[in-house]
Chain A
Amino acid sequence: MQSAQADKSEQKLLDEPRCGARIIIDCLQEQGVDVIFGYPGGAVLPLYDEIFKQNEIRHVLVRHEQAAVHAAEGYARSTGRVGVVLVTSGPGATNAVTGLTDALMDSIPVVCLTGQVPSYMIGNDAFQEADTTGITRPCSKHNYLVDQVDQLSEKMHEAFDVARNGRPGPVVIDLPKDVQMAETRVYKTKDQVKRRSFQVVTQPAVEGIEAAIAALSTAKRPIIYAGGGVINSGPQAAMALRQFADMTGMPVTQTLMALGAFPASHKSFLGMLGMHGTYEANLAMYNCDVMLNIGARFDDRITGKLDEFSPNSIKIHCDIDPSSINKSVMVDIPVIGDAGEILNALIAAWKSGGHALDAGAQKKWWAQIDAWRSRDCLAFNQDSGDAEIRPQHAIARLNAAVKGKDVYISTEVGQHQMWAAQYLEFEEPNRWLTSGGLGTMGYGLPAAVGAQVAHPDSLCIDVAGEASILMNIQELSTVMQYRLPVKVFILNNQWMGMVRQWQELLHGERYSESYTDSLPDFVKLAEAFGGKGIRVTKESELDQAIADMIAYDGPVVVDCCVVRNENCFPMIPSGKPHYDMILNDEDKRAKPIEGSGRNMV
C-alpha cells in the first residue's frame, strides 16, 4: 500500500498506548495547528475531551458548521496556512459541504475532521449517520475514512500534505467514534509519511520557460493575467510578479481571486478583468498578442464568450494543476509548476537573455491602454449633503479610510462584492478574502472571524449585502463570545442586488422574489449580539460612520443604506465577448465599443 515506503523507515512505537482522539491532537500539534474551528456533537465527544485536556490548540466555537469551514478558509487565505475544521457526524458533516465545495473551487487548503458513527454501525442508518466520504468525494480534493486506529497518524499527516501541496484544497477525514476511543502505540511522524501516488511538479520544465520567453520577448501587445495561484504560492510569488512586470514593463490584470497579488497602486495595473472588470483590462485582454496567464484558470466569468476570447493572442498558461490546461481555452504554451517558481524562472531567463520589449510597440500599446483608461469606467456621480449614498461611493470612502492600515477584508457574494473588488485597493496578497468560484452568500462574516482569529490586532472588515449577511448572521454570536472586533459593513439596498440587476437586464424587469422584505433592524441586531450598531443614510454622515466603525474597540455592524436600484458596471453580460461591455445605465442596451474593440490600436 502507500505506506510500504514509510514502513521501511524505522518506526518507533509509543511507550504508552494512546487513544485515537489523542493521536489526532498529537498530529495537529505536530502540524503546527494553533486553532480549530468547530462545533461538537455525539460522534466527536472523545476528540472534544482531548481538546479540553490541552492548551496548545485553541478551539473556536462557531454557530453553524458551514461557518466553521468558511472561518477556516478565512484563516487559511489570510495566513497561507492550512485551516482546520472539526464537526460531528451526519448534519455536522452535511452542513460543512457548502464550505468544502467553496474551498475546492477557490483552491483553499483546509483539513476537515468529521465524526462518524462507530465503525461497526456504519451503514445501519444509525443516529446522525451520513455517508460522509460518499457525499464529500466530489467536493473535496481527497477524503479518508479511517477505520483502524493504527493508521490514524499516517492518514492525518497525509491529509495535511494533500491539502497544502499542489493545487491546494479541502481534505476530509471521517473518524468513527470507536476509532477515536481505541488505543494504539503506533504513531508516525510527518516525516515518516510520504504518499507515492501524489507527485506534484513545482519546478517548471526548461522548454516551457524558453518557449514562454521567446513569445513574450517578441510581443508587441503583451499582458499578464494573474490569478489566485500567485496568492497560493506565497508572498514571494507576488514579489516575483511585481519584479517581472517591472523589468518587462508589461501591463498586469488580475482575477477576483488574485487581488492584492499585484499592487493596485502600480502604474502597470489595469484593474480586475472579467464580467465586472475594467474597460481597459478587458479590452487589453481582447487585443493583446501575447498573454501570460499565471495561476489563473480561464474561468467563465473571465473569458465571456469563449470563441471570441482574446482571438489573436499567443496564450501562455502557467498552472500547477495539469488538468487546468486546455480545459476551456486552448493554449499555445503550457507551463506546469508553482507560480512563484515559474515567475522566478521567467525572471532569470529574461535577465540572462538580455531581453527587452520593442520600445516603439510598447509606446503604442500603452497609448492605447491609456486611451481605454481615459473612459474612466468606474466613474460615478455622488451628490453630497443629504443625498443618498451610492454604493460605489460607500466602498470608495471605506477604501480611503483603511488606506495604509493593517486590514483584511472579506465579502459576501453579489453586487457589494463586485463593488468591493472594483473600488478597494489592495497592495499586498492575503488581504482579500472572497468566494469566487462557488459564489457563496454567507461566506464573508465567518471568513472575517477566521481572519480576525489569525490576526487579533488587525482590522477585519466584512463588506456585506443585507441579503447575504443574513445567511450566516448567527456568527455574530461567535464574534461576541471571542470578543472579536470584526466590522460588518452592510451595503443595504433592500434587494438581492445582483439578482435584481440580472432581472432588470435579462428578464424584462420582472423582479421575482429578489426584494428582501422584512429586514431586521441591523442596529438593534448588532446590539442584541453585544456589538455596536451604526446606521447611515446620508452622504454627509458616511465618513464619520466609517471612522466610528474603525475606532470602536469591538464588533460593529454598519447598516449603510444606499441607492436602491444601482447597477454594477462595467458588465459583460453572460456569454458576450470582452468588447461587448455595458459601461453604465445610459448605454446598457447599446454596444458602445464594437469598432474600437474589434480593431486593434
Chain B
Amino acid sequence: MTTEQRTFAVLVDNEPGVLARVVGLFAGRGYNISSLTVTEVDHAQGLSRITLETSGTPVVLEHVKNLLYRLVPVHSVADLTSYGPAVRREMALIKVCGVDKQRVESLRIADIFKAEVVDAGMEHFIFQISGEPEEIDRFVELMRQLGMVDISRTGVAAISRGAEVALK
C-alpha cells in the first residue's frame, strides 16, 4: 500500500510522560516522525500542543490517530492533512561561514528568501528564516553550497486555514 505524509495536531495536558506516550504509538509501529514540535499553548489550563509529521499507510495512520485520542492526557486530535488546507510553518537558524564573494552571495540569497541576519561577524552570518518547510529546504540547499556549517530547525507548527478550528 502507498504511504502518505500527514500532519497531526494533538492537544494534551502538559504533564510528565505525555510526549513519550504520543511518540511511543508511532515508534511501536516502526513509523518515523519526521517533524515534532511541542510547547505549552495555554499556561492557565496547562495545555500543550503537539504538532507532528509522519508518513504511513492511510489505514494505519487513521488507527494511530484513534489510538492517540485514547491516551488519557489527550484532549483532542486533528489530522490537519485530511481536514483541509492548513498553514504549515517552520523556523530555522543557519550559520554560514565564508569570505569575499561567497559571503556576499549568501547575503543576496538571504535577501531573496527574506531571511534575517541575526548574528554577523567578519567570517560568518547567522540567518533566521521562517516559512513553509519546503521553502526552508530550498534555502538550506543553497546555503550548503555557500559555506553552511550549522543548522537548527524548529519543526513544523501547523494550523488549519479558515475560520473553523480543526483541533476542538
* Residue B3, interface by CB 8 Å: no
A141 at interface, CB cutoff 8 A: yes
B74 interfacial by beta-carbon distance below 8 Å: yes
B20 touches A134 (CB 8 A): yes
Tell whether B69 is near chain A: CB-to-CB under 8 Å: yes
Q: Are B72 and A323 in touch, CB under 8 angstroms?
A: no
Distance in angstroms from A171 CB to nearest chain B CB is: 9
Digitize B59-71: 1 where CB-to-A-CB distance is under 8 Å, 0 elsewhere. 1001100110111
Selected from A137, A197, A322, A325, the residue in CB contact (under 8 A) with B24 is A137
Q: How close is A174's CB to chain B, nearest CB, in angstroms?
A: 11
Cβ of A551 under 8 Å from chain B: no
The answer to whether A162 touches B72, judged by C-beta atoms less than 8 angstroms apart, is yes
Q: Which residues of A contact B73 (CB under 8 A)?
A: 2, 197
**How many interface residues does chain B have, given as a range?**
20 to 34
Contact B46 A138 (CB under 8 A): no
Contacts of A323 in B (CB 8 A): 63, 66-67, 69-70
Tell me if A196 is interfacial: C-beta within 8 Å of chain B.
yes
Nearest-CB residue, chain A, relative to B20: A137
Complex: how many Å from CA A2 to CA B11? 13
With A2-B46, A138-B28 known as contacts, the answer to whether A322 contacts B69 (CB < 8 A) is yes
Q: Which residue of chain A has the shortest Cβ distance to B12 in the bound complex? A: A197
- Name the CB-closest residue of A to B71: A142
Judge if A133 is at the interface, Cβ distance under 8 Å: yes
- A138 contacts B17, C-beta separation under 8 Å: no
Q: Which residues of A contact B100 (CB under 8 A)?
A: none
Query: Are A1 and B15 in contact (CB-based, < 8 A)?
Result: yes
Q: Distance (Å) between the CB of B34 and the closest chain A CB?
A: 22
Bound form: Cα–Cα A142–B45 in Å? 21
B121 at the interface (CB under 8 A from A): no
Q: At the interface, yes or no: A321 with Cβ under 8 Å from chain B?
A: yes
- Of the candidates B16, B45, B70, the one whose C-beta lies within 8 Å of that of A321 is B70
A321 to B14, CA, bound (A): 24
List B contacts of A327 (CB < 8 A). 63, 66
State whether the Cβ of A198 lies closer than 8 Å to any Cβ in chain B. Answer: yes
In the docked arrangement, what's the CA distance between A1 and B18, Å? Answer: 13
With most chain B CB atoms within 10 A of its CB, the pick from A2, A142, A327 is: A2
Which chain B residue shows the least CB distance to A2? B13
A141–B24 alpha-carbon span in the complex (Å): 13
Majority SS at the chain B contact face: mixed
Residues from chain A with Cβ under 8 Å of B114 in the complex: none
Check: A145 CB closer than 8 A to any chain B CB: yes
Complex alpha-carbon distance, A143 and B14, angstroms: 15
B76 to chain A, nearest CB (A): 9
How many A-B pairs have beta carbons closer than 8 Å: the answer is 51
- Cβ–Cβ < 8 Å partners of A133 in chain B: 17
Q: Is B75 within 8 A of A196, CB to CB?
A: yes
Query: From B64, which residue of chain A is reached at the shortest CB distance?
Result: A323
Q: In this complex, which of A2, A145, A196, A197 has the most chain B Cβ atoms within 10 angstroms of its Cβ? A: A197
Inter-subunit contact A326/B46 (CB<8 Å): no
A526 to B10, CA, bound (A): 55
What is the CA–CA distance of A69 and B13 in the complex, to the nearest angstrom?
29
Q: A1, A138, A195: which contacts B14 (Cβ < 8 A)?
A: A1
Complex-state Cα separation, A327 to B59, whole angstroms: 8
B62 touches A142 (CB 8 A): no
B35 to chain A, nearest CB (A): 23
Contacting pair A137 B17 (CB below 8 A): yes
Residues of B within 8 A of A322 (CB): 66, 69-70
Q: B66: which A residues are within 8 A, CB to CB?
A: 322-323, 325, 327
Tell whether, in the assembled complex, residue B13 and residue A1 are in contact, meaning their CB atoms are under 8 Å apart: yes
Q: Mark B34-56, 1 if CB is under 8 A from A, else 0.
A: 00000000001110000000000
B21 contacts the other chain (Cβ, under 8 Å)?
Answer: yes
B71 surroundings in chain A (CB, below 8 A) = 142
Given A137-B24, A138-B28, A197-B75, CB of A326 within 8 Å of CB of B62: yes
Find chain B residues with CB under 8 A from A321 CB. 70
Complex Cα spacing A127 to B14, Å: 31
CA distance A10 to B75 in the complex (A): 25
Knowing A1-B13, A138-B28 are in contact, say whether A195-B63 is a contact too (CB < 8 A). Answer: no
- What residues of chain A lie closer than 8 Å to B74, measured between beta carbons? 197
Q: Which of A1, A145, A197 contacts B72 (CB 8 A)?
A: A197
- Chain B residue contacts of A198, Cβ below 8 A: 72
Q: Does A4 contact B (CB under 8 A)?
A: yes
Q: B59 to chain A: which residues have CB within 8 Å?
A: 326
Contact with B along A195-212 (1 / 0, CB 8 A): 111100000000000000
For chain A, residues 139 to 179, give those with C-beta under 8 angstroms from any C-beta of chain B: 141-143, 145, 162
Distance in Å: Cβ of B73 to nearest Cβ of chain A: 5
User: Nearest Cβ distance between residue A570 and chain B, in whole angstroms?
Assistant: 31
CB distance from B158 to the nearest CB of A (A): 21
In the complex, which residues 197-253 of chain A have their Cβ closer than 8 Å to any Cβ of chain B?
Answer: 197-198
User: Which chain B residue has the least Cβ–Cβ distance from A4?
Assistant: B45
Interface residues of A in 307-321 (CB under 8 A from B): 321
**In the bound complex, how far is the Cα of B45 from the Cα of A197, in angstroms?**
11
Interface of A toward B, CB cutoff 8 Å: 1-2, 4, 133-134, 137-138, 141-143, 145, 162, 195-198, 321-323, 325-327
Q: Provide a sorted-by-A list of 21 A–B residue pairs whose CB atoms are within 8 angstroms.
A: A1-B14, A1-B15, A134-B20, A137-B21, A137-B24, A141-B72, A145-B16, A162-B72, A196-B75, A197-B72, A197-B73, A198-B72, A322-B70, A323-B66, A323-B67, A323-B69, A325-B66, A326-B59, A326-B62, A327-B63, A327-B66
Interface residues of B (CB under 8 A from A): 12-17, 20-21, 24, 28, 44-46, 59, 62-63, 66-67, 69-75
Given contacts A2-B73, A322-B70, A325-B66, 11 further A-B contacts (CB under 8 A): A1-B14, A4-B45, A134-B20, A137-B21, A141-B72, A197-B12, A197-B72, A197-B74, A321-B70, A322-B66, A323-B70
